[in-house]
Copies of this chain bind each other. A is one copy, B any other.
């Protein structure tokens, strides 16, 4: 436990903010709602991005880049889409500044007003589908499997670093298909990719499901999602994959000639994850000493701190440290030697604990004599002495074990915080007193969902994909239901 952080138990939200600052991940910028992602935080995001990008390419996708700006009229083409985004749009109205007549600075030049305002993209369906119209003529042009890494802007009044910011970074896949079946298959495939990424890289178990109409993406026929449970019992939507039907093809008149030479509208999907995943990572694994980064996403997997009193001791230790670092590199492990002599070992230990470096090695002259090295595991906060001469070879198994163990702990926590509710009273007390995922029957109507939300703050996170059929009665209305859905209070 670090004196730099309030404990999670005392103030979870304060803990989160302090951790983001103390671990040097991000900070609020002077531009309202926008964040600065600091180098260490960005390095973790780069690891996420690279792993996802590889997975996208392995599933046949290519990257491209579409404009930042969207003409205002494009947003309006798809009715529910504009309804969903109009209230949070950054609008560009002018394209020039000029010196103010009173010499006090620059002002917007009223002569440089745009004929049509431009929206800073909140998401790119409209600009991309207006482009696809020229790219798609026949079934031979399909499928089109394109992804974009980009910044997007959604004006937010209340922001939290990584979780909800006016500008954020994300990827958005936009695919075009000849049949509904193929598009649904793509939607599911990308949900699988997100699931594997969340579980295998982030060590974060997720529920997979479909959103109800209330929580659906503006313009989608179906929104699939992965939902994770944070340590405070709240759910976090970690990724979404949308089956868009022919909505955007119709809005932008994108038709193709099928094999029978008939004109049809194209079928679409879109899917995205964002820097919000950084928030999910922090709240899944962080503890009262700071962040814990799963080894597969860690910018520094191993840090080696020489412990010495005299300069000649340092020289000897540095030599051994470099040998270990070289062996790490050869195994694809990132190892940092911290021999900065302006900082004391204790300060360094606290710093790397705060930053969540999975393994710390400490090496002093007596270790060298005894052929030992001290190994500290960030996840369990345990120290042990291990043979020095083979330490590099021991690291891959240790890192694997940390990765596995972080997942298992998160999974066990989720299991312990997932409950069935079979009555309205039970439901209310679970939500208000224990939090977590609550599995309950629901009558399938938006009205009931809305009432439950108003009375308890809980929303339906998803209708799980792999839930067994089970007849029951809606916890609120008593109407018949065929399966349980997942409720939780959410970020």
Chain A residues with a Cβ under 8 A of chain B:
27, 29-31, 34-39, 42-43, 46, 62-73, 75-76, 82, 86-99, 105-106, 108, 117-120, 127, 130-131, 134, 140, 146, 150-151, 153, 155, 167, 169, 342
**Given known contacts A34-B69, A131-B30, A87 and B91 CB-to-CB distance under 8 angstroms:** no
Please indicate the chain B residues that have their CB under 8 angstroms from the CB of A67 in the complex. 29, 31, 34-36, 167
Is there an interface contact between B36 and A65, defined as CB atoms closer than 8 Å?
yes
Tell whether, in the assembled complex, residue B31 and residue A71 are in contact, meaning their CB atoms are under 8 Å apart: yes
Which one, B72, B90, B97, B108, contacts A106 given CB within 8 A? B72
From residue A310, how far is it (CB to closest CB) to chain B in Å?
A: 23
A169 and chain B: residue at smallest CB distance: B65
Known A-B contacts A43-B63, A71-B31; the reply to A93 vs B105 at CB < 8 A is: no
User: CA–CA, A27 to B130, complex, Å?
Assistant: 13
Contact of A82 among B39, B73, B106 (CB under 8 A): B106
Give the complex CA separation of A131 and B73 in angstroms. 36
List, in ascending order, chain B residues with CB within 8 A of A43's CB: 62-63
Residues of B within 8 A of A42 (CB): 62-65
Chain B residue with the shortest CB-CB distance to A99: B86
CB-CB < 8 A to A39: which residues of B?
A: 62-64, 146
Query: A31 to chain B: which residues have CB within 8 Å?
Result: 67, 69-71, 118, 127
Given the contacts A31-B67, A31-B127, A342 and B140 also touching, CB distance less than 8 Å: yes
Which single residue of chain B is at the shortest CB-CB distance from A63? B42
A134 to chain B, nearest CB (A): 8
User: Which residues from B are CB-within-8-Å of A27?
Assistant: 134
Chain B residue, CB-CB nearest to A34: B67
CB closest chain-B residue, reference A145: B39
Interfacial chain B residues near A46, Cβ < 8 Å: 63
Task: Known A-B contacts: A31-B70, A91-B93. Give 18 more (CB < 8 A).
Answer: A29-B66, A29-B67, A29-B127, A30-B130, A31-B69, A31-B127, A34-B68, A36-B66, A36-B67, A36-B131, A39-B64, A68-B151, A68-B167, A86-B98, A89-B97, A90-B95, A92-B120, A95-B155
Jot down 14 A-B pairs with beta carbons below 8 A, ordered by A. Answer: A31-B69, A34-B67, A36-B66, A37-B64, A39-B64, A39-B146, A73-B105, A86-B96, A87-B98, A88-B95, A88-B96, A89-B96, A90-B92, A97-B119
State in angstroms the CA–CA spacing of A424 and B38 once bound together: 54
Do A86 and B92 have beta carbons less than 8 Å apart?
Answer: no
A299 closest partner in B (C-beta) = B62
Chain B residues positioned under 8 Å from A89 (CB to CB): 95-97
A92 and B31 alpha carbons, distance in the complex (Å)? 12
Quick one: which of B38, B82, B86, B119 contacts A64, CB cutoff 8 A?
A: B38
Distance in angstroms from A96 CB to nearest chain B CB is 6
Residues of B contacting A140 in the complex (Cβ-Cβ under 8 angstroms): 342
A34 to B66, CA, bound (A): 8
Chain B hits for A87, CB < 8 A: 96-98
Q: Which residues of B contact A94 (CB under 8 A)?
A: 90-91, 93
Give chain B nearest CB distance to A152 CB in angstroms: 10
- Complex Cα–Cα for A164 and B29 (A): 30
Q: Is the pair B88, A91 in contact by a Cβ cutoff of 8 Å?
A: no
Chain B proximity of A89: nearest CB distance (Å): 5
Distance (whole angstroms) from the CB of A62 to the closest CB of chain B: 4
| Interchain CB contact (< 8 A) of A29 among B120, B131, B146 | B131
Contact A108 B97 (CB under 8 A): no
- Residue among A62, A92, A131, A342 facing the most chain B CB atoms (10 A cut-off): A92
Within the complex, the shortest CB–CB distance from A108 to chain B, in Å, comes to: 5
Contact between chains at B108 and A91 (CB < 8 Å): yes
Q: Are A97 and B69 in contact (CB under 8 A)?
A: no
Chain B residues in 8 Å Cβ range of A119? 97
**Which residues of B lie under 8 Å from residue A70 when comparing CB positions?**
31
Residues from chain B with a CB closer than 8 A to the CB of A63 are 39, 42-43, 46
Please determine whether B86 and A91 come into contact, CB atoms closer than 8 angstroms: no
Nearest 4 pairs of A and B residues by beta carbon: A34-B67, A39-B62, A86-B97, A37-B65
Of B92, B96, B97, B150, the residue contacting A92 (CB under 8 A) is B92
